[in-house]
Structure 1
Amino acid sequence: MKRVLLLMIVCYSHFVFSQKDKTLFAYGGQVTKGFIKYTAELTNKKKPKICFLPTATGDSEYYINYWYELCSGLEVEPKVMKVWINSTTQKESFEEVLMSMDAIIVGGGNTLNMLAIWKAQEIDLALKKAYDKGIIIAGGSAGSLCWFKAGTTDSRPKELTIVKGLGFLDYSHCPHYHSEKTRRPLYHKNILEKKLANGYACDDKSGIVFLNGKLSKSVSLDSESFSYYVHQKNGKIIEEKLIPEILEE
């Protein structure tokens, strides 16, 4: 009996200590040098491998070149994972690529199309495995919206509409909070009408770090950009400004 009990304690201890914290960094706008540098710091690695996913812009060569330009001079090993590939040129699975990284950054663009491609290619499942493993997950615009339960997107014609995300974070989300004038009032309206859950909004140069699904800290590239917790109480919107740590651009 003592031996069985001891074995159970050892197994439980191994389970507890083998679990890694799940870190997700969501920011409101497009990828910047400052946000890449901060993502690298979150890995606690000397020269981390960071993979950029430009899916939302259709693997735009301009965006890919811009990524490498931004990474120039930083202590990172930059990678790119394209989805417009074929089996004769791509010898690693998407999962194998993602699971070998220290961090993954998702770019902006068309959220709806990006999610459709990810699901068709099972990249969504690979990203969840990477997240659960403790690989840092990050991104802005479409690259932030995708991790939440839902939010508003410009991915469809005519107007902003609601899109469901992957649900890694159990909140709604609004990127480009003050830079695009229709974002904030529509986000408030959708929360009041319970079309969206309470959630987090980010200005373009501000972001939020979530640790194991919960708010950890807010960061910003300047003193004029903020993130907010937006929720409704007694039929009114409450907008709580999160005081950020200012990052170096």
Structure 2
Amino acid sequence: MSVAPAHRLALIGGGFSTDTDGLLDDWALSHARASRPKVCFVPTASGDAPAYVEQFFTAFRPRTCEPSVLPLFRRELDDDALRTFLLSQDVVYVGGGNTVNLLAVWRAHGVDRLLREAYERGTLLCGISAGANCWAEGSHTDSFGPLTFLPDGLGLLPGSVCPHYASEPGRRSSYQEAVATGSLPAGWAVEDGTGALFTDGLLTEAVTRTPEARLHHVRAGGSGHRRVREQAVPCRLLVHGCD
């Protein structure tokens, strides 16, 4: 009797593009289904920025994995080859940038449907910033310039996501306002330095690379003048040599 694969997503508050210790990326890879996983970087949100792609390869080539990249602004694969390529990956790692543009380009190329199929088959989907926003029902974004809410996403993760929760001015108050007014559903506020693993839509692990960084669950409601409840989630501290 076959066992259905676990459906897993990871939100990463950092990784190779901002951190030098590699702890969050190693943590994400530790949840891949293979000991030498195929890891595909998807830099759509940055417009397939060459420097970003090279940064990924510099970080992942020395690791025990098979790194690759999926460019879409100069697409090289036809529909059948694209499906075969994505479904062969153990990890799909989505980079940061513009969430709105990312979703539009994915839908134009059918990548949104293929990622959903890969997720159902057990591929670990993960990413930073826009690459974290995209998996949820909605997100907090600066895709339009000013910080605002985006009631759009792939919907693989119930609720909403807010990246850079403590590091960018206005993020915390703006996201809380969106949740308080119902513009966004309750969700997960990711501070830089943290990681969150979801299995079948439920939080199953929260980690941090620094003692100060936290993951928060934010939902509407509260006592007195408060219109939201913000709950810090206990995070396991990552250290070198441990997943």
TM over 0.5: yes
Q: CA deviation at 1:30?
A: 5.3
- Residue 111 of structure 1 corresponds to 99
Q: CA deviation at 1:44?
A: 4.2
Q: Mean alpha-carbon deviation: is it higher for 115-124 or for 187-196?
A: 187-196
SS of the residue 2:64 aligns to: coil
Task: Point out where structure 2 has 5 or more consecutive residues left out of the alignment.
Answer: none
1:85 to 59, 74, 80: 74
TM-score (norm 2): 0.90
2:142 to 142, 149, 154: 154
- Residue 52 of structure 2 corresponds to 63
CA distance in 1, matches of 2:98, 2:234: 30
CA distance in 2, matches of 1:233, 1:160: 22
Greater per-residue helix proportion:
1
Contact 1:25–1:137 (CA under 8 A) maintained in structure 2: yes
What does 1:166-205 align with in structure 2 at a 5 Å threshold?
166-205=154-193
CA distance in 2, matches of 1:44, 1:148: 22
SS of the residue 2:161 aligns to: strand
- Residue 28 of structure 2 corresponds to 39
CA distance in 2, matches of 1:106, 1:21: 20
CA distance in 1, matches of 2:179, 2:10: 23
| Residue 122 in structure 1 maps to residue 137 in structure 2 | no
CA distance in 2, matches of 1:85, 1:212: 33
Contact 1:27–1:203 (CA under 8 A) maintained in structure 2: no
TM-score (norm 1): 0.88
SS of the residue 2:230 aligns to: strand
SS of the residue 2:30 aligns to: helix
- The structure-2 alpha-carbon separation of the partners of 1:150 and 1:137, relative to structure 1 and needing over 3 Å to count, comes to same
- Residue 228 of structure 2 corresponds to 237
* Alpha-carbon RMSD: 1.6
SS of the residue 1:179 aligns to: coil
Q: CA deviation at 1:219?
A: 0.9
Matched residue count: 231
> One-letter code of the match for 1:45?
A
CA deviation profile, 1:172-215 (whole Å, cap 9, x unmatched): 11000000011100111111111111111101111210000111
CA deviation profile, 1:16-72 (whole Å, cap 9, x unmatched): x33111011012345453222112110142211110000111111100000011114
Contact 2:33–2:123 (CA under 8 A) maintained in structure 1: no
Overall identity of the aligned pairs, in %: 32
CA distance in 2, matches of 1:124, 1:248: 34
